[in-house]
Chain A
Amino acid sequence: MERQTSMQKVQGVLHKYPYLSPLIVLIVAMTVFYFANHRFLLPGNLSFLTQQTVIVGTLAIAQTLVILTAGIDLSIGAIMIFSQMVMANLAVSASASNVLPVAGQNPYLAIAIGILAGVLAGGMNGLLITRFNLPPFIVTLGTLSIWTAITLLLFKSRTIQEPEIPATLKWLGSTFQIGGFQLLYGVILMLIMYVIFGYILRSTAWGMHIYAVGDDPAAAQLTGISTKRVIFSVYLVSGLIIGIAGWVTLGRVGSASPNVDPLLNLDTITAVVIGGTSLFGGRGVLIGTLIGALIITVVENGLSLAGFDQAYRVLAVGILVILAVAVDQWIRKVKA
């Protein structure tokens, strides 16, 4: 064994535990913001942080799966909005001024169909990528526009207001108390999904194959893994997660509008990248993505509490992304 410099040791440790650098950033950020404004760590504000993280946090699970295969999904936000509009428009009472002739459905059925819509949209991405050998960036750039347009055309750009939507659809947005904390059911669902998908990625053959395919598709193919099947299944499952995120969003926002934040896609990518997952595929852990999503919220909320303008928050997140990718590149150069 040759001797390593301390810098190489740091590099080695970060390489082995890719969630370590985002975790350090999160802890440092929270400490700084606490000293800038003591209200930052009050239970009320911490609860608010989790509520602010829930949509991007849930969607970022899907983005992590896709990015681990060395893909990218720009259509996540558009599919999520489509899926929640399907749910809301199916469940809304027939007398309300809805646009579909099939309104007034059982709310559970509406949720199921909405999630199914997400699965189908994800499957369409997967099919275009694997069947026609198109790059994921282009396919999802196209479906981003397609689903946005379909949502506007199908639902006539109409926002469904909160009172019109049955309670079942908004249930994930209701809260319960633990100590001084107000937790959303949606946050609990998100955490459960992190546990489940973390387990799948770490401990099942499918998870192992996702890493192998993202790492080196040619090598994975030669070892007998059907790379196309793995990639297709990843987009399908990410569609499922996006559909569930649509339900979470209905609860969190309360109303269903086709004009929700179009920057959601970028925020999920930001969360994944800050969380230490490599955009080149094959490395990263899911828990890093949760930390990444929290970092975005913490920086925005902390700067806001410290009295900074919105523009500074956007600036800070931008710098973080570039730093995260730079650190990733450096870590990848590790040698034994």
Chain B
Amino acid sequence: MTTDLSTLQPVVEGKNIVKTFGRVVALDGANLALYPGEVLAVVGDNGAGKSSLIKCFSGAYTPDAGEMFVNGEQVQFKSTHEARVGGIETVFQTLAVAPALDIASNMYLGREIRKPGIMGSVFRSLDKKEMRAQASAHLKNLGITTLQNITQAVETLSGGQRQAVAVARAAAFGSKVIILDEPTAALGVNESARVLKMIQDLRDRGIPVILISHNMPQVFEVADRIHVARLGKRAAVVTPQTASMNDVVAIMTGAMTVPEEEQQLAPVRVPAPMA
């Protein structure tokens, strides 16, 4: 590969984003850049503004000031639906699945496929067969083999399996970026490992991922670059190679500052070709 990293343009970029809730300043001029094909971890103490920052990109919040870009084009999302149309898929901490509906229905919730011909156009009939077939194919693509029965209700699944459904849904439709908010917070060791594997698979398929996590070992395992949020701003961007976990915690708490020239603001990973 001869891709010149310095010519890469960010897939997602935020400049000087401000978001306030009454007198609480959640984001105070925050910056963020995600480059093609990389896993960017966003870490920070509670209240550092990492969730708020991510919610601006997933359309759940609208920033009060600042600019957001997707592939260099300025965007404004008024809803999660608009962000989704713009190619940004988010797996929320609450997963946003409908427990009583089956796996296939959940994956296609809000963007159902209708039957071809008069059954679809006049009678609005859903093409459940097609949705099930495609859902199966997506899960298989991601190497998710623990979900055998696509017509199973999501509430009958384990925490890790539900996470897999939510990630698969995001991966199936996230044409540009996938954001994962604390995907392993509620999971056991084995299930966490599976989700981390899924993140690496996404990256290997060329899809950039933003991972929000509290779990330092996991962050250091999968992230290419680590964005440290503090007091509503970006405190630093480091890599697992240039900083230790203790360094990251020190930056989070303000005990350590990294001069800009020592930060890793440029991309480090050569993106895999988009599958």
Interfacial residues, chain A to chain B (CB-CB below 8 A): 15, 199, 203-206, 208-209, 211-212, 215-216, 218-225, 282-283, 334-336
With contact pairs A218-B94, A224-B80 given, residues A208 and B99 touching in the complex (Cβ less than 8 Å): no
Bitwise interface map of B from 155 to 176 toward A, beta carbon under 8 Å scored 1, else 0:
1111000000000000000000
Contacts of B105 in A (CB 8 A): 208
CA–CA, A221 to B110, complex, Å? 9
Is A211 a contact partner of B98 (Cβ separation < 8 A)?
yes
Partner of A206 from B84, B97, B124, B153 at Cβ < 8 Å: B124
Partner of A211 from B97, B101, B114 at Cβ < 8 Å: B101
B5 sits at the interface (CB 8 A): no
- Closest residue of A by beta carbon distance from B110: A224
How big is the B interface, by class? 20 to 34
With contact pairs A211-B101, A223-B110, A282-B100 given, residues A334 and B95 touching in the complex (Cβ less than 8 Å): no
Is B100 a contact partner of A219 (Cβ separation < 8 A)?
no
CA–CA, A203 to B114, complex, Å? 9
Is B124 a contact partner of A222 (Cβ separation < 8 A)?
no
- Closest residue of A by beta carbon distance from B161: A336
CA–CA, A221 to B81, complex, Å? 9
Is B99 a contact partner of A215 (Cβ separation < 8 A)?
yes
With contact pairs A204-B125, A205-B126 given, residues A224 and B79 touching in the complex (Cβ less than 8 Å): yes
Looking at chain A's contact residues, is the secondary structure mostly helix, strand, loop, or mixed?
A: helix
Given A212-B101, A223-B80, A223-B98, output 12 extra A-B contacts at Cβ < 8 Å. Answer: A203-B125, A205-B126, A208-B126, A211-B101, A219-B94, A220-B109, A222-B80, A222-B96, A282-B98, A334-B155, A336-B152, A336-B157
Is B109 a contact partner of A225 (Cβ separation < 8 A)?
yes
Interface centre among B95, B110, B152, B156 (most CB of A within 10 A): B110
Contacts of A223 in B (CB 8 A): 80, 96, 98, 109-110
Contacts of A208 in B (CB 8 A): 101, 105, 109, 112, 126
Contacts of A220 in B (CB 8 A): 96, 98, 109
Is A335 a contact partner of B124 (Cβ separation < 8 A)?
no
With contact pairs A208-B109, A334-B156 given, residues A224 and B101 touching in the complex (Cβ less than 8 Å): no
- Closest residue of B by beta carbon distance from A16: B153
Contacts of A221 in B (CB 8 A): 80
CA–CA, A283 to B97, complex, Å? 14
Is A222 a contact partner of B100 (Cβ separation < 8 A)?
no
Report the minimal beta-carbon distance from B96 to chain A, rounded to whole angstroms.
4
Report the minimal beta-carbon distance from B110 to chain A, rounded to whole angstroms.
4
Interface centre among A205, A218, A220, A225 (most CB of B within 10 A): A205
Across the A-B interface, how many residue pairs have beta carbons closer than 8 Å?
Answer: 75
Bitwise interface map of B from 98 to 121 toward A, beta carbon under 8 Å scored 1, else 0:
111100010001111010000000
Is B98 a contact partner of A215 (Cβ separation < 8 A)?
yes
- Closest residue of A by beta carbon distance from B81: A224
Partner of B110 from A15, A204, A211, A225 at Cβ < 8 Å: A225
CA–CA, A205 to B115, complex, Å? 11
Contacts of B35 in A (CB 8 A): none
Which 9 A-B residue pairings sit nearest by Cβ, starting from the closest?
Answer: A336-B156, A224-B81, A222-B96, A224-B110, A212-B98, A219-B96, A205-B112, A215-B98, A204-B124
CA–CA, A218 to B80, complex, Å? 12
Contacts of A335 in B (CB 8 A): 156
Is B95 a contact partner of A219 (Cβ separation < 8 A)?
yes
What are some 29 contacts across the A-B interface (CB < 8 A)? A15-B153, A203-B126, A203-B128, A205-B114, A205-B126, A208-B105, A208-B109, A209-B109, A211-B100, A212-B101, A212-B109, A216-B97, A216-B98, A216-B99, A218-B94, A218-B96, A219-B96, A219-B98, A220-B96, A222-B92, A222-B94, A222-B96, A223-B96, A223-B98, A225-B109, A225-B110, A334-B156, A335-B156, A336-B156
CA–CA, A216 to B155, complex, Å? 12
Contacts of B249 in A (CB 8 A): none
CA–CA, A216 to B97, complex, Å? 8
CA–CA, A26 to B128, complex, Å? 31
Report the minimal beta-carbon distance from A164 to chain B, rounded to whole angstroms.
41
Contacts of B142 in A (CB 8 A): none
B60 sits at the interface (CB 8 A): yes
Report the minimal beta-carbon distance from B92 to chain A, rounded to whole angstroms.
6
CA–CA, A205 to B60, complex, Å? 23
Contacts of B99 in A (CB 8 A): 215-216, 282
Is B124 a contact partner of A219 (Cβ separation < 8 A)?
no
Contacts of B123 in A (CB 8 A): 199
CA–CA, A212 to B152, complex, Å? 15
- Closest residue of A by beta carbon distance from B125: A203
Contacts of A336 in B (CB 8 A): 152, 156-158
- Closest residue of B by beta carbon distance from A284: B100
CA–CA, A88 to B96, complex, Å? 48
Report the minimal beta-carbon distance from B234 to chain A, rounded to whole angstroms.
26
Contacts of B155 in A (CB 8 A): 334
Partner of A204 from B97, B111, B126 at Cβ < 8 Å: B126
Bitwise interface map of B from 9 to 30 toward A, beta carbon under 8 Å scored 1, else 0:
0000000000000000000000
Contacts of B60 in A (CB 8 A): 222
Report the minimal beta-carbon distance from B100 to chain A, rounded to whole angstroms.
5
CA–CA, A253 to B178, complex, Å? 60
CA–CA, A73 to B173, complex, Å? 38
- Closest residue of A by beta carbon distance from B85: A224
- Closest residue of A by beta carbon distance from B58: A222
Partner of A224 from B111, B128, B157 at Cβ < 8 Å: B111
